[in-house]
Structure formats: C-alpha cells, structure tokens
C-alpha cells in the first residue's frame, strides 16, 4: 500500500489532528497525528491482518526516537533509534522466532560496526 504523504487534506488545508488510512478491505493501514501538515508524535502502521507492522515517532515530519518493526506473526523484528531520520545508536534485529539475530551500531545514518550476530538458536556466531 502506498501511504498519503501529502501535507494537505482533501480541502486543500494543512493537515491537523488525528488521521487514519485504510486498506481496500477496510482494515486500518496506519494512524497518527498531523500538526501544520507534518506528521507528529506516535504513528502506527499495520499489516492487513491487523497486526502492528511498525510503531514510532515523528517530530516535524521526520522519524525520531525509537522505532519498532514486527514480523507478520507479531514478534519483534527490529528496534532502533532515529535522529532526524538517520539511524543512530545500536540497532537490534530478531528472527521470527523471537531469538536475537544481530546488533549493529550506527552513527548519522551510517553503519559503524556489527557488534554481535547470532543463529536462530541463540548461539553467537564468530566475527569475521
């Protein structure tokens, strides 16, 4: 699904307040608030089955703070922090069974280094 990234509502006014978008089947696709045409605060994105796909915050229309993504089975897939839409700090990914997959450090949107990597059973893999 392509989301409406327009700053304006159907009347040509800057978006303000709570907005929701829906899939063709009527299920909610995403929801959050706008202020003066910019996404602000917590936004949630959903899969067709109603499970949350991603949840995070916007400030002045930019992804900021902690964001979380989920697998189709509802298990946490990835968690990390944005600063002005750039990845920063340690990002953690998980297998669809919930087991830790890896931890990677980012700075200003660039990968600094992979800290740890695990197999699906939780065993740490040797660094290359």
Which pLDDT does position 20 carry in this prediction? 96
User: Looking at residue 5, what is its pLDDT?
Assistant: 79
- CB neighbours of residue 11 within 10 Å: 5
- Domains of the chain plus CATH, in order, are 17-117 (3.90.930.1)
109 CB contacts (<8 Å, ≥6 apart)?
Answer: 85, 86, 87, 88
pTM: 0.90
> Which DSSP string corresponds to 50-106?
S-EEEEEEEETTEEEEEEEEE-TTS-EEEEEEEETTEEEEEEEEE-TTS-EEEEEEE
Q: How does 16-49 read in b/e, with b if 16+ C-beta sit within 10 Å?
A: eeeeeeeeeeeeebbebbbbeebbbeebebbbee
Could you list the pLDDT tens digit for every one of the 128 residues in the chain? 667 778 888 888 899 999 999 999 999 999 999 999 999 999 999 999 999 999 999 999 999 999 999 999 999 999 999 999 999 999 999 999 999 999 999 999 999 999 999 999 999 997 66
């Amino acid at each position: 699904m392509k989301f409406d990234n327009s700053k304006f509502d159907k009347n040509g006014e800057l978006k303000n307040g709570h907005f929701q978008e829906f899939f063709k089947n009527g299920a909610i696709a995403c929801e959050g608030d706008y202020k003066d045409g910019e996404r602000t605060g917590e936004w949630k994105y959903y899969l067709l089955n109603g499970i949350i796909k991603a949840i995070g915050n916007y400030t002045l229309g930019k992804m900021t703070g902690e964001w979380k993504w989920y697998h189709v089975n509802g298990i946490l897939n990835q968690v990390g922090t944005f600063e002005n839409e750039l990845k920063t700090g340690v990002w953690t990914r998980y297998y669809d069974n919930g087991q830790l997959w890896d931890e990677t450090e980012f700075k200003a949107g660039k990968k600094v280094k992979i800290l740890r990597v695990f197999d699906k059973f939780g065993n740490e893999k040797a660094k290359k």
